Structure 1
Amino acid sequence: MTYGRRAFLGGLAASAGALALPRAATSAPLATVRELGALRFGLYQNNQPWSFEEDGKVVGIDADIARALAEHFGVRPDLALFPADEEVSDDLRNVVWRGGLLGFRKCDVMMHVPFDRTFAAREDQVVILAPYYRESFGAACASGMPECEGMPTEFRGKRLAAELDSIPDFYLIGNFGGILRSDVTHYTSGFDAVAAVKAGSADLAVATDAQIQSALSHAPGDGAKRRKGPLPAMLSPGWDVGIAVDEKSRSLGFAIEEQMDAMMADGRMTAIFAKYGVDWRPASAVAPVA
């Protein structure tokens, strides 16, 4: 998934505050889901560690959460990978409330949606709810890179890595007078960018915290470390991640939200994240779970 133009809609606006939603059920699609025996989830493709293919199977944090939810409701999980469009609004249209023009059948639930009040108010065809993680950006550096904790201007001349057309990409090539632009190599995902550092083919990568943690623990190689300090001039303070359902499917969304709350409370959410090397962090829109 590209955390660039889409993150400007969701991630950079996260400081606007938590989203409050009325719990008035307008329809009861949950009964239909149980009758059909399947719950269809839309997952971003090539979005490691959240959703990706491995040995012909859809895996990742979001995939495991989806399977746990389907098991709770006693139905089969139908996991549908889709490519990210230009904007999250396009993804919501193609995945949740209309379906894709090229035959992609719409889903009951879309995972990994920015949970933000301002953004959600514009998306009146869907309901965004159930925040389950707090995401932010960071950096991973080669183990022997002394400038890792320094100012980004000190990265000049180093082999820098970022996902193409992402906020980390814009951060590196657009800030600091553009002096880092020629040092940046683009990768298909933030996970791959961090993996390049660990493999020794890059000196520093900027990516999301989840991508950094997962790549450092799962990608081949051992030559990387995580930057401890925040990135100067990084505009995004972080953002909450939630789900989306059709506006007519509020009862399904609320049932899922309740079950996800239970998963956060009893440790199952933490265990799913840990499987992929990521520390689970509760969304800022909800009180921390003891």
Structure 2
Amino acid sequence: MTLTALASATSAFAAPLEKVKDLGVLRVGLYADNRPWSWDQGGKVAGIDADIARALAEALGVRADVQLFFAGEDISDDLRNVVWRGGLLGFQPCDVMLHVPFERHLMQAEDNVVFLAPYYRETFGAACSRDGGNCEAVPAAFKGRPITVELASIPDFYLLGHAGGVLAKDLVHVPTGYDAAAALANGSAEFTVATTAQIESAVADHADAGIKVRKGPLPMMMSPGWDIGIAVKENSRNLGFRLEEILEQMIADGRMAAIFKSHGVTWKPALSAQS
């Protein structure tokens, strides 16, 4: 057996962490069109999660192979296609997936993956255009004005049902929450509900637009927020534990907050990481 063949055979049977180091590559799965977390920017994957992925690879001493994928019907589809089996159209499984909901019911339902390292707390918020009026008012106050929202999202369902559905005819559906918030900058919308990260990023990207961010909570919002973390295949625990250590180090030394800040987003610790 040649040295090359021997090395290949060794990698094939090595533990996942050692295999990543032997191959010199960490393959990371990220959601496509998920600004400010991950999106294609002129042929390069940009975003908070993309920066985190590269930092993880650098800490392991390997190259990051960041792969974008489009969300499936539900998170179980994404975990199957990206983490433990691969996609039916040839998408190869990744070593790790980022931006995974860190929720107990999901952990109990998915026995092919391990959920680790919650690194941020997602929440919902609202924002108004410069001339949009009182952003602290109840959403129903914006009846008759253009309201942007991501199609088929929690904010969409929230606004559709708010105050008996009085806003239904005012909703303008867009592909992402970031798009919904960014629409406030050019006057095509006066109000939006999106994730806090999407709003903060859009505000930073349109600093001169005068977008106003709601300070108070949204009345009757059905979601209090959720933590996001990473997922690895069930038999890749040693890789997952090492990545968890790196993420904890990044949080402790301020690198995590700095990555978020570079995208205009304030880092918030995951609730489950504080227990």
Q: Equivalent of 2:269, from 282, 287, 290?
A: 282
Letter in 2 for 1:198: A
CA RMSD of aligned residues (A): 1.3
* Corresponding residue for residue 158 of structure 1: 145
Question: In 2, Cα distance between the equivalents of 1:183 and 1:144?
Answer: 17
Letter in 1 for 2:225: G
Question: In 1, Cα distance between the equivalents of 2:160 and 2:261?
Answer: 32
Deviation (angstroms), 1:98: 0.4
* Corresponding residue for residue 263 of structure 1: 250
User: Pairwise mapping of residues 87-166 of structure 1 onto structure 2 (< 5 A)?
Assistant: 87-166=74-153
Letter in 2 for 1:197: L
Deviation (angstroms), 1:158: 1.3
More relative contact order in 1 or in 2 (CA 8 Å, sep 6+)?
Answer: 1
Identity of aligned residues (%): 59
Residue 55, structure 1, aligned to residue 18, structure 2: no
Secondary structure of the residue that 1:179 maps to in structure 2?
A: coil
Count residues in correspondence: 262
Letter in 1 for 2:41: E
Letter in 2 for 1:96: V
Residue 192, structure 1, aligned to residue 179, structure 2: yes
Deviation (angstroms), 1:175: 2.6
Deviation (angstroms), 1:117: 1.2
Deviation (angstroms), 1:54: 1.1
Question: In 2, Cα distance between the equivalents of 1:188 and 1:48?
Answer: 11
**Paired residues of 2:129 and 2:190 also in contact (CA < 8 A):** yes
Deviation (angstroms), 1:198: 1.5
* Corresponding residue for residue 206 of structure 1: 193
Question: In 2, Cα distance between the equivalents of 1:277 and 1:238?
Answer: 20
Residue 70, structure 1, aligned to residue 57, structure 2: yes
Letter in 2 for 1:282: P
* Corresponding residue for residue 32 of structure 2: 45
Question: In 1, Cα distance between the equivalents of 2:127 and 2:90?
Answer: 39
Secondary structure of the residue that 1:192 maps to in structure 2?
A: helix
Instruction: Give CA-to-partner distance per residue, 1:168-213, whole Å, 9 cap, x none.
Output: 1111112321111110001111001100011211001110000000
Structure 2 alignment gaps of length 5 or more? 1-13
Secondary structure of the residue that 1:285 maps to in structure 2?
A: helix
Letter in 1 for 2:157: F
Deviation (angstroms), 1:118: 1.6
**Paired residues of 1:200 and 1:223 also in contact (CA < 8 A):** no
**Paired residues of 2:140 and 2:162 also in contact (CA < 8 A):** no
Instruction: Give CA-to-partner distance per residue, 1:97-130, whole Å, 9 cap, x none.
Output: 0000011111000010000112111110000110
**TM, length-normalised to structure 2:** 0.93
**Paired residues of 2:128 and 2:212 also in contact (CA < 8 A):** yes
Which one has the largest radius of gyration?
2
Instruction: Give CA-to-partner distance per residue, 1:256-287, whole Å, 9 cap, x none.
Output: 00000000000000100001000001100113
Range 175-184 or range 94-103, more displaced: 175-184
Deviation (angstroms), 1:220: 7.2
Secondary structure of the residue that 1:30 maps to in structure 2?
A: helix
